[in-house]
Amino acid sequence: MMTPKEKQSEASERRKKLNNDEEFSANKVQIMTLDFLLHVAGIVPPNNATPLIRFLYKVFQTVIFTLYILALLGQMMAVYVNWGNIPVLSSTMSYTSGFLLSVILCLYFLHNKDKFTRLIDLLRNEFVAKINSKYIKFIDTAERQIRLSVTLSAPFATSLGLISIVAPFLSKSSFSNFDNNTVTTDGKKWGRLMFVIWFPFAIEESPQLEIIMVLQIILMCFAVLMLVAVDATFLLLITHAAAQFKVLCAMLNDMHENISEVELNRTKQMSPLQDTAEFNLMKDPLTSADDITCHELGSGNSASRKSETAVLENCHMNKDPFQLYLAECIKHHQAIIEFVANINEVVSLVTFVRIVNFPLILCMTGFEMTQNLGNLEQFLKFASFFVAALYLIGGYCLFGQQVIDESEKVQLAFYSTDWYSQTAGYKSLLPLAIMRASRPVTVRAGVFFDLSLLTFSLLVNASYRYFTMLIQLHDS
């Protein structure tokens, strides 16, 4: 029979082994695994890059964005010169909106790079690193979702680039042609270019044609790559926020399992201060019950924060492990809400630009598809453009909807705890948590839209209305 000292030693070793396993699992998990796309696209150099490599990245960014701006100016001039020719306008505007979106997203990301870095560090150090090992599966699932999304989008992006490059060499359609600032419609084929653009010189001769074609290919490839890289970073932050709500629900469902009998017995034998210091779900040592206040937790309106703080300060949580556990869950919930608020602060503007731009791209490319039903290569080019735009904005709205759905489940998870058998202090905390969880957490796109499936359906309907209007204008 084991002596009390041997039992205590065995329990200590078991707890130590459990903590080591949790630390090993938490450190092993990989997050933001697609950040290499930012390096490949030339947006951000690797962390271990030499000063020379960083200088080359800056030179590349200066050159590529200069080319983007020149291309956008040329396309805008093409719109002006070709005003009234709806097929040419729709083709030009499709590429113009795509390039403009790529430039805006990349410049915005570079301008706010420090904010994105802080968000990623917060996610890695405050959420993932301190999570219980059995909940790491939710983090892995979030990473897999993004990897799957990028993998599925790769064929659309690749086909868009390849078909755009090959189509001019195969096209037999007559397009308007510029010859020294004048527009002609005499049946000449539009120069072997990927998209319509205005030049102050003749482009049908060598070597102008070859140089312009190569530059257009470079711009198209990097525009697609940069969009995918920046979008993957945005979506990773959003899906990790949804994963944290899943973790919170699992924590509440596993309350009795996490508060083990060993902890309960140890609670009865230890002083209140020792118990509070050693018991912590997220392995973040607390020194007193006052450390668990809503002032640390983040957002929510001022009145609710004051109410929760008053309740937490007036109850003796260190005497009840269930009440302490609930306080930790409330703390985690408020931290996730604040994390989503920080995401909205950084991402809201660019998602609004993307949503506003989406109906324009969809109706223009849809119009071009209907006008090129007999021209396979042109039809495939705009069809790939159409599907890629639909897929990307659908991904934003789908992951935004996931955040809403998972945040709504937290309310039921709070209520599903066995509150009826808990102490009065536990019951006084629970209504406040349920009230805050009743308001779904949303990822915003500006001040007008939430990223949700409802927003996606509204955008598709708006695109269809613009498309029918464009058809009527062309027919008239």
Predicted local confidence at residue 3, as pLDDT: 56
User: What's the pLDDT band for 174 if we cut at 50, 70, 90?
Assistant: very low
Q: What is the mean pLDDT of residues 239-250?
A: 94
- Span 176-212, pLDDT tens digits: 344 433 334 333 434 457 778 887 777 777 777 788 8
pLDDT band at residue 244 under the 50/70/90 scheme: very high
pLDDT at 178: 40
pLDDT band at 398 (very low <50, low <70, confident <90, very high): very high
- Count the Cβ atoms, other than its own, within 10 Å of residue 384: 21
Comparing 129-133, 360-364, 373-377, 457-461, the range with the smallest average pLDDT is 373-377
pLDDT given at position 55: 94
Q: What is the pLDDT of residue 331?
A: 93
| Terminal-to-terminal C-alpha distance of the chain | 97
Distance, in Å, from the CA atom of 327 to the CA atom of 441, rounded to the nearest integer, reads 20
Look at strands 444-445 and 449-450 and give their pairing.
antiparallel
Question: Could you tell me which of 223, 270, 251, 297 has the C-alpha nearest to residue 72?
Answer: 223
Q: What is the tens place of the pLDDT at every residue in 68-117? A: 998 899 888 888 888 878 888 888 888 888 888 888 889 999 999 889 88
Question: Which has more confidence, 38 or 374?
Answer: 38
Question: Bridge-partner residues for 449, per DSSP?
Answer: 445
d(CA 8, CA 2): 10
**275 or 393, higher pLDDT:** 393
Q: What letter would DSSP give residue 128?
A: I
Mean pLDDT of the chain: 77
What pLDDT is attached to residue 367?
Answer: 87
pLDDT of residue 170: 63
**177 within 8 A of 85, measured Cβ to Cβ:** no
For 428-445, the pLDDT digits (tens) are 889 989 999 999 999 998
How many angstroms separate the CA atoms of 54 and 57, rounded?
5
* Local confidence band at 387 (pLDDT 50, 70, 90 cut-offs): confident
Say which range, 18-32, 227-241, 287-301, 347-361, has the weakest mean pLDDT. 287-301
pTM score: 0.78
Task: Average the pLDDT over each of 97-111, 258-272, 276-290 and give the range with the smallest value.
Answer: 276-290
Question: How confident is residue 13, by pLDDT bands cut at 50, 70 and 90?
Answer: low
List, in sequence order, the alpha helices (H) in 287-320.
302-314
Over 70: is that where the pLDDT of 366 sits?
yes
Query: What is the spatial distance between Cα 436 and Cα 416, in angstroms, rounded to a whole number?
Result: 16
Checking if the pLDDT of 2 tops 90, the result is no
On the question of pLDDT at 465 being above 50, the answer is yes
Q: Is residue 39 over pLDDT 60?
A: yes
